[in-house]
Structure formats: structure tokens, C-alpha cells
Structure 1
């Protein structure tokens, strides 16, 4: 019997995946229904990455992507 746990996923997103204010939400539409938790918004506008406080899924912008209207 294995006692290892699966590491939280890292999801790369594009600026197009983000809301106007530079956030994404978790759980995301691709997650299995059984893994649902309350929806939280994760801010990627400041440093391009964030982590869900419920499931630990990390979200990060793909290289070269910019959100928040700043270029």
C-alpha cells in the first residue's frame, strides 16, 4: 500500500484565461466534479502566479503572458 500523496497540480494559464482584473477561479472548469470546493479567485496580476488555499493547485501565467492591461 502506498502512502504517497499526489502533488498538487500546476496549471499554466494565458492572459485570455484570466478575468479582466487578472484573476482565475478554482476549481477550474477542467477539474473533476468530485474535487469541488468553494470557488475562490486567485490573483495572478501581481506576480503571475498564485495557489488555491483549498486544494493547493498552483496557477501561473505562461511565459510572456501579461494580465491587468500593463505591457
Structure 2
């Protein structure tokens, strides 16, 4: 039986964003990058978001800004 792990926190920069303030999970740097379907996590509201599948929290690095294009 495996013990539950604490959710990972991944700090991202503005360059890591795909589209207007989103990242995708799992990301290619994860050891189990194909462990669940690809989902987009929205960081545009408060600078962070959580993957509904694995619980990984993505947080915009301090001082980074999300470019809002209209």
C-alpha cells in the first residue's frame, strides 16, 4: 500500500503560460507525465490554480505578470 503524497507546488513564469494565463497538467517535466488526461489550469484570476486530477498546484512566480490580450 502506498502512502498519500502531499500535492506538489510548481512555480511557473510568464513564459511557461499557454494562452491567456493557463498551464497544462501533467507537464513534460513530471516523471509520470502521462498519468492522467491533459487539462488546462487557469492562473489568470489569482495567480494560482490546482489540477483536478493529481492535485498539483501551479503558482505564478513572485513578480511575474500575466499578459492579458484583448
In structure 2, the residue corresponding to 1:33 is in which secondary structure?
coil
Q: Would the alpha carbon gap of residues 34 and 43 (structure 1) be closer, same or farther in structure 2, given more than 3 Å must change?
A: closer
As a proportion of its length, which structure holds more helix? 1
Structure (1 or 2) with the larger CA radius of gyration:
1
How many residue pairs get matched? 69
In structure 2, distance between residues paired with 1:61 and 1:52: 14
Across the aligned residues of Structure 1 and Structure 2, the Cα RMSD in angstroms comes to: 2.1
In structure 2, distance between residues paired with 1:25 and 1:67: 15
Tell me the TM-score normalized by structure 2. 0.85
- Structure 1 position 53, deviation (Å): 0.2
Q: Which runs of 4+ in 1 moved over 3 A?
A: none
Instruction: Give 5+ residue unaligned stretches, structure 1.
Output: none
1:46 aligns with 2:45: yes
